[in-house]
A and B are shown apart, each in its own frame.
Chain A
Amino acid sequence: MKIEKLLHKLQAFFDTNTHKKREHIEELKKILLKLKKKERKITHSLEQTDDECLIKHYQTELEIIRVQRKKGIEVLQLLKERKKN
């Protein structure tokens, strides 16, 4: 059983497709993390300002990031599922 699992892992390691998928997932995770940080930064700026124009801009930016993150999480889940299969 152990040898079978080890062989599976070795096969996955040498398989370029799997390698690429893993790289893709890692990259996506990094981007989602960056987006999270950006979201915090904008929320902070939003709290600091009383400029109407800027408030509207920050709100739009936050909503954009929210949709982008949602999209990213969906892609991540899909990639993880594919990787399992």
Chain B
Amino acid sequence: MHKALLLIVIPLLSYGFWLSVEFKGIAAGVSIFLFGMLSLEQGFKAFTGGVLERILQKTTDTTWKSFGFGFLSASLMQSSSLVSVITISFLSAGLLDLVAGIGIVFGSNLGTTTGAWLIAGLGLKVNIATYAMPILVFGVLCIFQNGKQLKGIGYILTGLGFLLLGIHYMKESFEHFENTINLAEYAMPGVKGLLIYTALGIIATIIMQSSHATMLLTITAVSVHQITYDNALALAIGANVGTTITAIIAAFGANIQGKRLAGSHLLINLCTGIFVLVFIKQFGVAVDFISQNLGIAGTDHAMKLATFHSLFNLTGIILFFPFINQQVTLLEKLFIEKRSNIFKPKYLDSSAMDFPETVVESVRLESIHLYENAIHVILRTFGLHKRDLQTKDLLKQLIDQNNHPIEYDIDANYEKRIKGIYSAIIAFISQAGFPLEMPQSSRLSWLREANKRTVEAIKDTKHLQKNWTQSRSSTNQVKIDEYNKIAYQIILHIQKIETFRHEIEGNELPLLSLDALKATIKDDDMQMIRTIETLIRDRKITPETGSSLINDSAYMRSIKKNLLKAAETLFLHDNTVNNQVEQQLSLNETEINDVVQTVDTK
């Protein structure tokens, strides 16, 4: 809820509590009910990341199966919101197609009506608080257990217990409310009442983010004649339209498919709502007819409302289910996927395929293009730009100042800047298919390896990003400093590779500079681990932070090594005499290790 709105709602509620004890009871009932729903969601989330996903994948290969899944899961979880959110995330991940997603929406729309039956049939007729108590006790007992699944079961039981308790509180308070204020005085007949109460239903559902809660309020109120049956029908229509808000909110963070699904949910429920509003009289007759056949008394408005709720959603299914494919076409037109500016290969021309040397050179240039993009992604992860590499003395300052960076979307940028080019390079090399004995063949395989290392450097950066971003909001300055040091050392390494490139151009002993770069990687790593150990010993960081830092320093080392290996292959291409003499002076692994030890003991 928006903070400004909260400032209005809190005094209003407080005033209401002061005015009426019954109102306090109703509000507490709604709160307990909503808390129960949250707890239920929490419980079912414990089963995501495994069971739920496997079931979803197996049960959504046909539209009818998707419908069945939606119906069962919404009935079981008593939350169409959770089903919508899971469906949107699956759709965004590409594990479901839009047709299956819409099938689930239809199913969950019908599944959610079981809640109204539960409230009207059981909640108002039986003293459900007596069932709620033991369920709550068992639930809390399970929550205190160690296993993730047992905890999940605990949350589900607690959620169910609170749902029942919430219904009980509301029922009790409404019964007392009846004796003090008669809300029925505010009843509005005719079309005006229909429209106003539909709007009220929408608003209430948006505020509470639960059509269940709105239905609970409506059914309880109608059962004690606090609102008229006609107005209750309008509230139920509003609740069905308003419930799409959860999916819309979830779709903000989803890709275009998720947005299309939320659009479909809104479209189905809104059109059904309009249809039912237009034919409300006929629906009234139909509800009476069905109720009579089901043995529901004509005066039992609560049960009749549950019947109407089911009939409403069934109408939506009958009207729109046969036209799922047309809906998909419409949604694809309404929500057009923006063609992202995906980077395309620059040098992999089919004409280059004519000669082995041009193939190798094209691949080398394209690999440099990929490397440049990778450097961009790594720098942006730490909140820097390529131009910042020029500001030699201010580099550390720039990183230290960057305390609240917006998390850079590595995945999206990998898709945009890396994947297309990398795939094109691999395809180009495969197409070339030189015989192994040709010297160009081994050069191509080195280039392939260099590209692999470039991509690995990005993947390591992604792993590192999580803890680095979290460290930004840490209250421990030492932790922030250590993560800044990791970022700084990576950026310094990139800067040195840039210098190495210039040395190649100016023939300034690039091969010999490589030794210093290799030694620096080893030395930085040793220093980092030693510092972390000291910080843990001095209790400046927790052992947990220390272990994260050790893992992340391993990612740092891997990023540096991969970038250096790639740069070596990409930029050192001339096998000149100069290189041969330089090679004589360059150091082997043991000599580099000796240097690191010497510097370390100084």
Q: Which residues of A contact B (CB under 8 A)?
A: 23-24, 27-28, 31, 34-35, 38, 51, 53-54, 56-57, 59-61, 63-65, 67-68, 71-72, 75
Contacts and interface: CB of A to CB of B under 8 A. Distances in A.
A56 B525 CA distance: 12
Nearest to B509: A34
Given A24-B581, A51-B396, A68-B585, A63 B595 contact: yes
Given A35-B509, A56-B527, A61 B516 contact: yes
A57 B396 contact: no
A63 B599 contact: yes
B523 A67 contact: no
A54 B396 CA distance: 10
B585 A72 contact: yes
Contacts of A75: 584-585
15 contacts: A23-B577, A27-B577, A31-B578, A35-B509, A53-B485, A53-B492, A57-B523, A60-B519, A60-B599, A61-B516, A63-B595, A64-B595, A67-B587, A67-B591, A67-B594
Contacts of A60: 516, 519-520, 523, 595-596, 599
Interface string B174-211: 00000000000000000000000000000000000000
Interface string B195-234: 0000000000000000000000000000000000000000
Interface of B: 396, 485, 488-489, 492, 508-509, 512, 515-516, 519-520, 523-524, 527, 577-578, 581-582, 584-587, 591-592, 594-596, 598-599, 602
Contacts of B598: 63
Contacts of B602: 59
Nearest to A28: B581
A51 B400 CA distance: 13
Contact of A64 (B485, B515, B527, B582): B515
Given A24-B581, A53-B485, A64 B587 contact: yes
B340 to A, nearest CB: 37
A71 B577 CA distance: 18
B523 A56 contact: yes
A68 B520 contact: no
A82 to B, nearest CB: 14
Contacts of A59: 599, 602
Given A53-B485, A53-B489, A57-B492, A64 B519 contact: yes
B534 to A, nearest CB: 14
Most buried by A among B492, B527, B585, B587: B585
Contact of B515 (A24, A31, A56, A68): A68
Name the prevailing secondary structure of the A interface residues. Answer: helix
Given A31-B585, A57-B520, A67 B488 contact: no
Contacts of A65: 512, 516
B520 A34 contact: no
Contact of B578 (A27, A51, A68): A27
A38 B595 contact: no
A59 B600 CA distance: 10
B587 A68 contact: yes
A59 B519 CA distance: 11
B14 to A, nearest CB: 57
B523 A71 contact: no
A72 B587 CA distance: 11
A31 to B, nearest CB: 6
Given A51-B396, A67-B587, 20 more contacts: A27-B577, A27-B578, A28-B581, A31-B509, A31-B578, A35-B512, A53-B396, A53-B485, A57-B520, A57-B523, A59-B602, A61-B519, A63-B595, A63-B598, A64-B515, A64-B519, A64-B587, A68-B515, A68-B586, A72-B585
A71 to B, nearest CB: 5
B591 to A, nearest CB: 6
Contacts of A31: 509, 512, 578, 581-582, 585
Contacts of B587: 64, 67-68, 71
Nearest to A54: B492
Nearest to B597: A63
B595 A67 contact: yes
Contacts of A72: 584-585
Nearest to A32: B585
Contacts of B524: 53, 56
A75 B587 CA distance: 14
Given A35-B509, A53-B488, A64 B584 contact: no
A49 to B, nearest CB: 8
A69 B344 CA distance: 45
Contacts of B523: 56-57, 60
A56 B595 contact: no
A60 B602 CA distance: 11
A81 to B, nearest CB: 16
B207 to A, nearest CB: 53
B60 to A, nearest CB: 53
A63 B596 CA distance: 9
B212 to A, nearest CB: 57
A25 B594 CA distance: 27
A4 B157 CA distance: 109
A27 B595 contact: no
